[in-house]
Amino acid sequence: LDPLLQHFLAEAREAVTGQGGWVIRIDANGLTALFENSPHAGRGHAALAVEAALRVVAAARRAKRWAAATLSEPFTPDLSV
């Protein structure tokens, strides 16, 4: 489980920071990110947050496929976003 979560959280962190957000907390409950409006950004913070969330969903799917192909455990749990 630990390698799966590490792989997923690394990709999720990239999805958030790639959209200009900051990861402010990662714990057993999940990931919390902050997006702020910037006078130099072409889109508002809400649009950036939604785009990041969609990218996190894709990261969860990739992490699950990675775990199924790489790890020796036959069972990989679902990741909820």
> In this predicted model, what pLDDT tens digit does every residue of 14-71 receive, in sequence order?
999 999 899 999 887 788 999 987 766 677 888 999 999 999 999 999 998 888 888 8
Residues 81, 78: Cα–Cα separation, whole Å: 10
> In this predicted model, what pLDDT tens digit does every residue of 41-57 receive, in sequence order?
677 888 999 999 999 99
Residues 19, 6: Cα–Cα separation, whole Å: 20
Burial class (CB in 10 A: 0-12, 13-18, 19+), 75: exposed
Residues 34, 72: Cα–Cα separation, whole Å: 35
